[in-house]
Amino acid sequence: GGVLRVAMWEDPYHGNIDGAGNGNDGAGADDDDDEETATATTTTTTRKKKSLYKCAPVSLLPNSYPRAAFETAKSLCRPFNLLVDRVSRDGEFLVSILGGEG
């Protein structure tokens, strides 16, 4: 049993989540709280054959999390990474699933 406190890394841009230095994050001007923690996922958009890369924000504050659930998730890291590695090296499988040129 027990509870584990989990915190992700701090937002290095302090509200400027696109990293471009323009302050255009779609948030209010007072979103520079150093206590805030954040993770980011990415999205890719294609416009006129140009790929645009932008971080998609996901903010998390440190929360209590059940230790058993954390340990279960942690135990799945190695098998999941092995699966991703093997799939990424199987070009024939990827082409058959995703389509495209072989």
Q: How far, in Å, CA of 7 to CA of 14, rounded?
A: 16
Q: What is the number of alpha carbons within 13 Å of residue 24 lying toward its C-beta?
A: 3
Q: CA 49, 54, 58: angle at the middle one, nearest 5?
A: 145
Q: What is the pLDDT of residue 100?
A: 73
Domain count, the chain: 1
**pLDDT tens, position by position, 29-86:** 444 444 444 444 444 555 555 656 666 666 677 778 899 999 999 999 999 999 999 9
Of residues 34, 46, 37, 40, the one with CA closest to residue 19? 40
E-strand ranges in the chain read 3-6, 37-47, 50-60, 63-66
Q: What is the pLDDT of residue 63?
A: 74
Question: pTM score, two decimals?
Answer: 0.37
Q: What is the pLDDT of residue 49?
A: 56
